[in-house]
């Protein structure tokens, strides 16, 4: 009797384990980086991503070398 219950329990666990839906994975691209072109002095872009929140800073230097920062 005990071996029959073990077989039934094993069959149940195996059936439930096989029939569970596959878990979905999330895919996201992390855009965190620093962009600039060395031959074009005077500007750059910094992007930080954490989860689904992004923070960007654009820094630009004017012709009189005064810095300007823009954030988004």
Q: What is the pLDDT of residues 12-32, one digit of tens each?
A: 555 555 555 666 556 578 889
For 21, which DSSP code?
P
pTM over the 0.85 mark? no
According to the model, what pLDDT value does residue 16 have? 53
Alpha carbon distance 37, 22 (integer Å): 44
């Amino acid at each position: 009797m005990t071996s029959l219950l073990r077989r039934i329990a094993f069959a149940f666990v195996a059936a439930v384990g096989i029939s569970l839906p596959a878990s979905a994975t999330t895919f996201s691209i992390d855009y965190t980086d620093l962009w600039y072109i060395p031959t074009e002095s005077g500007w750059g872009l910094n992007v930080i991503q954490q989860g689904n929140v992004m923070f960007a800073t654009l820094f630009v230097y004017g012709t009189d070398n005064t810095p300007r920062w823009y954030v988004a």
